Amino acid sequence: MEFTVYLAGQIHDNWRDEVRTKAKERDLPVNFVGPQENHERSDHVGEDILGEQPDKVFTDDAASDINNFRTQLLLEKSDAVIALFGESYKQWNTALDAGLALKGNKPLILVRPESLVHPLKELSNQANVTVETIDQALDVLAYVYE
Amino acid sequence: MEFTVYLAGQIHDNWRDEVRTKAKERDLPVNFVGPQENHERSDHVGEDILGEQPDKVFTDDAASDINNFRTQLLLEKSDAVIALFGESYKQWNTALDAGLALKGNKPLILVRPESLVHPLKELSNQANVTVETIDQALDVLAYVYE
Amino acid sequence: MEFTVYLAGQIHDNWRDEVRTKAKERDLPVNFVGPQENHERSDHVGEDILGEQPDKVFTDDAASDINNFRTQLLLEKSDAVIALFGESYKQWNTALDAGLALKGNKPLILVRPESLVHPLKELSNQANVTVETIDQALDVLAYVYE
Amino acid sequence: MEFTVYLAGQIHDNWRDEVRTKAKERDLPVNFVGPQENHERSDHVGEDILGEQPDKVFTDDAASDINNFRTQLLLEKSDAVIALFGESYKQWNTALDAGLALKGNKPLILVRPESLVHPLKELSNQANVTVETIDQALDVLAYVYE
Amino acid sequence: MEFTVYLAGQIHDNWRDEVRTKAKERDLPVNFVGPQENHERSDHVGEDILGEQPDKVFTDDAASDINNFRTQLLLEKSDAVIALFGESYKQWNTALDAGLALKGNKPLILVRPESLVHPLKELSNQANVTVETIDQALDVLAYVYE
Amino acid sequence: MEFTVYLAGQIHDNWRDEVRTKAKERDLPVNFVGPQENHERSDHVGEDILGEQPDKVFTDDAASDINNFRTQLLLEKSDAVIALFGESYKQWNTALDAGLALKGNKPLILVRPESLVHPLKELSNQANVTVETIDQALDVLAYVYE
Amino acid sequence: MEFTVYLAGQIHDNWRDEVRTKAKERDLPVNFVGPQENHERSDHVGEDILGEQPDKVFTDDAASDINNFRTQLLLEKSDAVIALFGESYKQWNTALDAGLALKGNKPLILVRPESLVHPLKELSNQANVTVETIDQALDVLAYVYE
Amino acid sequence: MEFTVYLAGQIHDNWRDEVRTKAKERDLPVNFVGPQENHERSDHVGEDILGEQPDKVFTDDAASDINNFRTQLLLEKSDAVIALFGESYKQWNTALDAGLALKGNKPLILVRPESLVHPLKELSNQANVTVETIDQALDVLAYVYE
């Protein structure tokens, strides 16, 4: 049985490549989807497709139109969600995606460093599992196939 | 027609009192609910009710058990949600509540300063209305009664 | 038993007053809700609350933010919907509201002149009842209390 | 990952062919579905299958029975919806389909000329993305595969 | 705690009066709703409100428009359903209402004579309780208040 | 695109074979499912699997346990439902299945002879399409592929 | 704001009276509902209402018909659920009710002695809060009103 | 048509192997899923993946995090559920899974010895079918393919 897992989180580094590579090494039949990982493209896709916007507020809103279209479509097709938080960036869209996933009955794995225990406590408490590393998240996925 | 509105957001200052007072001044028949506003109590309610926990991670988790019980109960009874973000604090539970509200079909008003446009762009784009002040949020609520 | 009925349709004349007056004359315990009926206010509420917008596209979008907040909140609280179409105006928001109502399991009464049979045939076919006058729509509501 | 996209809109010209051809040129793994595109057949399918009807009102209703069966079946199987509006025709069924899609949690791309900004403002505001051309709509779909 | 109970079934005799009278005698705080009980009116309400129809098929369809509006509205407001079957009449609308109730998560009491065990076996098996008399149905309702 | 269609109705003759044969002749990529068509087996499956029952009421209930398991499983996997009524038999399970299908958002084709217009008027009014012959029902299915 | 809370659990002692009395002492505006608390009556209600049954299996099934009608009706009206487990009795219906409550989006408080940690670990993990005493459960409820 | 069936129940013996072997012998195209069947691994998976826990309560909770992730994911993908109860063990998670399945509209087969009729009467009454042996459960599954 093959699963689709949405990878919610920041797009400033290549953590999703790590997930994909390690899942491959373990031969997990999991199809990973997620947001646009090219940060530049993600921020400019609104103007790229919809044309120049009046100011930065509207540029951001135009980009979000298209990023949210992508997220809604892929999240709806996913069987589970991994949400990763780190010490940098606001990451409110990650928490938002986690809320959408939870209310949409998708099981959720939260990945976060111990330093973020306190501010993520409500989210962690609603997630199915909270781990600190990507390896642990894959351990959880792999467990489904044992 | 009376509405119940959940006030999602930080509990470090008394912004909810401002909402309540101003709603009263405008005679809006709105019943506001929200999380525990006494920060101390919110952080310690887990140990207060469930007893001493092994360490801070578990203390936080115990508090979240009870805070999430309250939030789920009150959010489910609400007709709309106001989510307020400011420049301090992580506020991931606010974004989480917003996600739960959106997927639960509750109309959402986002209140945030202009400085947070970029990191809140996906959430703002999914909210019904984004404003910068509590007065504007109340303007939106008042509009329903015009 | 009291019902709440959402009155979807154009806001260029006072047809909703006719509904309310005639329902009162028949002593129907129905609470009617609907969009902002002051057309000026409806079109400018975005700029009224959110401030000046870059151009007319954004002015319209800002107004819709707030009008859609109102509609979503009131539609969700309604037990049934009356959607009225006439020969003037585009009225796409009326058809949109009808779609939202139907998929949200709200019984729907469509009011339209015979001249609009053809373009409204799919909507009429999905509505519970299609009538040509407000009096007939009230006849249908009154029938529930017989 | 393959998606199914419902193409809501008028059936007076071959805009869906343009969508299909251009999607093929871009190698998008998208399966497009939609209403009957032969206008004659769409209008007469009621009498074609159910036999002669008493008058034009009933002819239209009979056709809608079958067109709505097709739309409900295909919309339910779709992952997203593109709704196209132009300057001709009433297009209320397009707005209706958009409402059914939105309430059914299907992400929605609205295609409309700038001239229709005002009458489509509520629908545009609820859609995920609003564009002016078919190429832009395909840009949005293509973005999901980047 | 007050409940609303929909009384599905034929409208050829006054069995609903018996339900209401006996519930009153037992002081059950139950509000009973149901279809139009005046059979004449029920059959002609389509033409009464919508005007003369081309033939009997359309007369029936017009009546059903309005009867189904009433049923959908009242069923949605109900907490439970009592569906009564007897030896006369087709009673397919009763079975239909039972199906709508069951799929809508309304607890269902089926009242039927022993002679109808076989043809009602699938419905009986899905109902919460099957009884043979109105008194037994009221016994079940009364039990909720014990 | 392949669809699964549930064939609700009596199991006293082989009308489902007619549906399957004619769909094959038209090359419709439709997978038909339905109840057990061997009437004997359907009536005795309860005792066949669960053992002897105390009397005929319990024999029927035991059979329904298993028939309803099958129907619920297959109905949930179906994209549309054809419900056929004839002049013989009570057929309350057909009306029940139609109600379950309608409330479960499955598009519904009703097949019934003209003689049954009146007793099936509420069901016909809620179905997407009402036809009189199996050929017409297949015309409707075929239309989805045009 | 008044809440309705369903008290799931065994009916061999009067623990619900303790809940009600203590809630009253704290002036909590909570309306408690639950199963029949008279064990005798609960076990015999099937035969009491439906008449003598062939053997004990059917007597139990008949009682469950009516007990499940009550539970479904009251659970659906409840805003939250308290499920209490003790060291005696099988209590599978308590775990069943907890599952129904969780999947029905009702926040859940689990009350169980420490001795039952292991066998209740999956349920405890899905509940919002797990406590060991009724006083703690009331502490949680009271917290919603702080 | 292939189905996925979740096998809920204790993991102390290899009853699921019996199900799988016998289904294979009958050539049933059913894909069986279920919880981790290695009891040791199931109990320690929390510490295996998340590291040492403060005490046995937290060890159990950590294991449940991961077991519940697996169950939620697999249950959501299943078309039906078989829940097996025996005379040993508490089996509250089996009853919990049954409740989640029922409220999630999955048809349910209950397998239990006659000795457990009384304590499982509410669950049995809500299940589609109750049988005493695995062979009977497979008879029910096989019946869907007849």
Which residue in E81, E73, E68 sits closest to E4, CA to CA? E81
Across the interface, do B93 and A123 touch by the CB < 8 Å criterion?
Answer: yes
Average pLDDT, chain H: 98
* ipTM of this complex prediction, to 2 decimal places: 0.97
Residues of E in contact with C144 (CB under 8 A): 69-70, 73-74
Cα G16 to Cα G18: distance, rounded to the nearest angstrom? 5
| Alpha-carbon Rg for chain F in angstroms | 16
Across the interface, do G128 and B31 touch by the CB < 8 Å criterion?
Answer: no
Cα B32 to Cα D84: distance, rounded to the nearest angstrom? 41
**One-letter identity of residue A28:** L
Instruction: Please enumerate in sequence order all residues whose Cβ is within 8 A of that of B73, keeping only pairs 6 or more positions apart, or say none.
Output: G3, G79, G80, G107, G144
Instruction: Please count the residue pairs, one from chain C and one from chain D, whose beta carbons lie less than 8 angstroms apart.
Output: 119
- Closest by Cβ to B49, choosing from G1, G3, G139: G139
Residues of F in contact with D103 (CB under 8 A): none
Across the interface, do D58 and E54 touch by the CB < 8 Å criterion?
Answer: yes
Q: DSSP assignment, residue E105? A: T
Cα C41 to Cα C58: distance, rounded to the nearest angstrom? 16
Which class would CATH give H3-36+77-144?
A: alpha beta
CA pseudo-torsion sign G102, G108, G114, G115: negative
Instruction: Please enumerate in sequence order all residues whose Cβ is within 8 A of that of F131, keeping only pairs 6 or more positions apart, or say none.
Output: D49, D50, F109, F110, F111, F137, F139, F140
Please give the helix or strand (H or E) that residue B64 lies within, else none: helix B56-77
> With bands split at pLDDT 50, 70 and 90, how would you rate the model's confidence at B128?
very high
What was the pLDDT predicted at H50?
Answer: 97
Across the interface, do A79 and H72 touch by the CB < 8 Å criterion?
Answer: no
Cα A86 to Cα D142: distance, rounded to the nearest angstrom? 29
Q: Within an 8 Å CB–CB cutoff, is residue A120 touching chain B?
A: yes
Chain C's closest residue to A58, CA to CA, is C58
| Percent of all residues in chain D with a pLDDT value above 70, rounded to a whole number | 100
Across the interface, do F95 and E95 touch by the CB < 8 Å criterion?
Answer: yes
Q: How many helices (H) and strands (E) does chain G have?
A: 6, 5
In terms of phi and psi (left: phi > 0; alpha: psi -120 to 50; beta: otherwise), the region of A51 is left
What was the pLDDT predicted at G142?
Answer: 98
Burial G53-83 (b: 16+ CB within 10 A, else e): beeebbbbbbbbbbbbbbbbbbbbebbbbbb
| pLDDT, tens digit only, all 146 positions of chain A | 999 999 999 999 999 999 999 999 999 999 999 999 999 999 999 999 999 999 999 999 999 999 999 999 999 999 999 999 999 999 999 999 999 999 999 999 999 999 999 999 999 999 999 999 999 999 999 999 99
Residues of E in contact with C3 (CB under 8 A): 73
**What average pLDDT does the segment E118-127 reach?**
98
What was the pLDDT predicted at G1?
Answer: 93
Q: Within an 8 Å CB–CB cutoff, is residue B57 touching chain C?
A: no
> With bands split at pLDDT 50, 70 and 90, how would you rate the model's confidence at E77?
very high
Cα H130 to Cα H82: distance, rounded to the nearest angstrom? 10
What was the pLDDT predicted at C108?
Answer: 98
**One-letter identity of residue C98:** A
Cα G63 to Cα G50: distance, rounded to the nearest angstrom? 9
What was the pLDDT predicted at G118?
Answer: 97
Cα A83 to Cα A99: distance, rounded to the nearest angstrom? 10
Q: Is G110 helix (H, G, I), strand (E, B) or coil?
A: strand
What was the pLDDT predicted at F24?
Answer: 98
**Alpha helices, H only, chain E:** 15-25, 39-50, 56-77, 92-103, 121-126, 134-144
Cα F10 to Cα F35: distance, rounded to the nearest angstrom? 9
Q: Give the tens place of pLDDT for each residue, C12-45.
A: 999 999 999 999 999 999 999 999 999 999 999 9
Q: Which chains touch G (3 or more CB pairs under 8 A)?
A: B, E, F, H
Q: Within an 8 Å CB–CB cutoff, is residue H128 touching chain F?
A: yes
Chains B and F touch (3+ CB pairs under 8 A): no
* Distance from the D109 Cα atom to the nearest Cα atom in chain A, whole angstroms: 8
Which residue in H32, H41, H44 sits closest to H3, CA to CA? H32
* Distance from the F67 Cα atom to the nearest Cα atom in chain E, whole angstroms: 8
Q: Within an 8 Å CB–CB cutoff, is residue C51 touching chain A?
A: no
The structure tokens 């780190």 sit at A86
* Distance from the G25 Cα atom to the nearest Cα atom in chain H, whole angstroms: 32
Q: Give the tens place of pLDDT for each residue, G80-90.
A: 999 999 999 99
What was the pLDDT predicted at C110?
Answer: 98
**Do the Cβ atoms of H11 and H18 come closer than 8 Å?**
no
**Do the Cβ atoms of D120 and D43 come closer than 8 Å?**
no
What value, to the nearest 5°, has the Cα angle with vertex B136 and ends B133 and B141? 130
Average pLDDT, chain B: 98
**Do the Cβ atoms of A94 and A116 come closer than 8 Å?**
no
Q: How many helices (H) and strands (E) does chain F have?
A: 6, 5
Read off the tokens for C82. Answer: 């009356």
Q: Within an 8 Å CB–CB cutoff, is residue C58 touching chain A?
A: yes
Cα G70 to its chain centre, rounded Å, is 12
Cα B83 to Cα B5: distance, rounded to the nearest angstrom? 10
Pairing of strands E108-111, D108-111: unpaired
Q: Within an 8 Å CB–CB cutoff, is residue E3 touching chain D?
A: no
Chain H's closest residue to G127, CA to CA, is H96
Read off the tokens for C99. Answer: 């779609």
Q: Which long-range contacts (CB under 8 A, 24 or more apart) does E76-79 make?
A: E76/C79, E76/C105, E76/C107, E76/E104, E77/C1, E77/C79, E77/E4, E77/E33, E78/E4, E78/E5, E78/E6, E78/E33, E78/E106, E79/E3, E79/E4, E79/E5, E79/E106, E79/E107, E79/G73, E79/G76, E79/G77
**Do the Cβ atoms of C73 and B106 come closer than 8 Å?**
no
Q: What are phi and psi of B91, to 5 degrees?
A: 60, 30
What residue ranges of chain G have pLDDT lower than 70? none
Cα H59 to Cα G117: distance, rounded to the nearest angstrom? 10
Across the interface, do D96 and C93 touch by the CB < 8 Å criterion?
Answer: no
- Closest by Cβ to C36, choosing from B80, B129, B146: B146
Read off the tokens for G82. Answer: 């308290």
Q: Is G9 helix (H, G, I), strand (E, B) or coil?
A: strand
Q: Which chains touch B (3 or more CB pairs under 8 A)?
A: A, C, G, H
The structure tokens 């301090």 sit at B88
Q: Within an 8 Å CB–CB cutoff, is residue C81 touching chain D?
A: no
Read off the tokens for E85. Answer: 């079957």
Whole-number Cα distances in Å, F136 to F22, F115, G65: 11, 17, 42
What was the pLDDT predicted at A27?
Answer: 98
Cα C111 to Cα C95: distance, rounded to the nearest angstrom? 12
In what side-by-side order are the strands of the sheet with B80-84? B30-33, B3-9, B80-84, B108-111, B129-131
Q: Give the tens place of pLDDT for each residue, H54-103.
A: 999 999 999 999 999 999 999 999 999 999 999 999 999 999 999 999 99
Cα C1 to Cα C12: distance, rounded to the nearest angstrom? 32
* Distance from the E143 Cα atom to the nearest Cα atom in chain C, whole angstroms: 24
Concatenated DSSP letters of C61-126: HHHHHHHHHHHHHHHHH-SEEEEE--SSS--HHHHHHHHHHHHTT--EEEE--GGGTTTTHHHHHH
Read off the tokens for F38. Answer: 């061997």
Which residue in C85, A77, B79 sits closest to D96, CA to CA? C85
**Do the Cβ atoms of H96 and G127 come closer than 8 Å?**
no
* Distance from the D26 Cα atom to the nearest Cα atom in chain C, whole angstroms: 31
The structure tokens 């599978």 sit at G92
What was the pLDDT predicted at A61?
Answer: 97
Q: Is E10 helix (H, G, I), strand (E, B) or coil?
A: coil
Across the interface, do E48 and C146 touch by the CB < 8 Å criterion?
Answer: no
* Distance from the E53 Cα atom to the nearest Cα atom in chain D, whole angstroms: 10
State the helix-helix crossing angle for C39-50 and C56-77, rounded to 10 degrees: 110
Across the interface, do F73 and H144 touch by the CB < 8 Å criterion?
Answer: yes
> With bands split at pLDDT 50, 70 and 90, how would you rate the model's confidence at D146?
very high
Q: Within an 8 Å CB–CB cutoff, is residue F48 touching chain H?
A: yes
Residues of A in contact with B101 (CB under 8 A): 99
Q: Which chains touch E (3 or more CB pairs under 8 A)?
A: C, D, F, G
What was the pLDDT predicted at G51?
Answer: 97
Average pLDDT, chain C: 98
* Distance from the A108 Cα atom to the nearest Cα atom in chain H, whole angstroms: 8
Q: Give the tens place of pLDDT for each residue, F1-51.
A: 999 999 999 999 999 999 999 999 999 999 999 999 999 999 999 999 999
Residues of E in contact with G78 (CB under 8 A): none
What was the pLDDT predicted at F86?
Answer: 97
